[in-house]
Amino acid sequence: MIPDTPEYFAAIQSIRDALPVQPASKESFFFERPRTELVTITVTRGIFWKREKRIKGIKLLTRMIYWSQDRQEYIIELSGITCDGASVPQIFWSIFPPFGKGEGAEYLLPAIGHDKNCRQGRKGISRMSHKGAAALFKEMMITEGVRRSISVVMPRAVRWFGPRFKAA
């Protein structure tokens, strides 16, 4: 399914309608833990000269559903969507690899949620601003159990150097 099309939003809404209005939990959590796979994707990069580049990316094999206690809403991403993980400059990959470290790839799911908001923000259809997307990224990192130092540094870097957009 092509992201951010009427069919995409209809599928998201049908999932949202089937979920409880507000879960009994008092904390944020992943309602469904998605499965992912490593793929090669083509992205357009560059500040002054735009060029296409093939890089490693992540593809969602199953949908991702996250309950945000702070925002009181579900963050839903459909299966088949690809993203580039955490958009960390290559010089920092030894400290912050784009797909996290270890078995669970600690900040991969928060990166997927943040990429969704950035993708929609660039199109002018995001329900939150870039500041809200960075705050959600931090909340998701804390929910995933990412070390405090990383869950403070990465959202700040996203807010300072990431894309800027307003809520639609």
Q: Which residues lie closer than 8 Å to 82 by C-beta, 6 or more apart?
A: 39, 41, 57, 58, 59, 60
In 71-154, the DSSP E strands lie at 73-77, 82-83
Which H helix or E strand runs over 156?
Answer: helix 148-161
pLDDT score recorded for residue 45: 67
Count of other CB atoms within 10 angstroms of residue 164: 11
The region, left, alpha or beta by phi > 0 then psi within -120 to 50, assigned to residue 84 is: alpha
pLDDT score recorded for residue 146: 85
pLDDT in tens, 48-59: 777 777 777 888
Q: What averages of pLDDT result for each successive group of 10 residues across the chain (168 residues)?
A: 83 88 83 82 72 80 89 87 81 79 71 88 90 92 87 89 88
pTM: 0.83
pLDDT score recorded for residue 136: 92
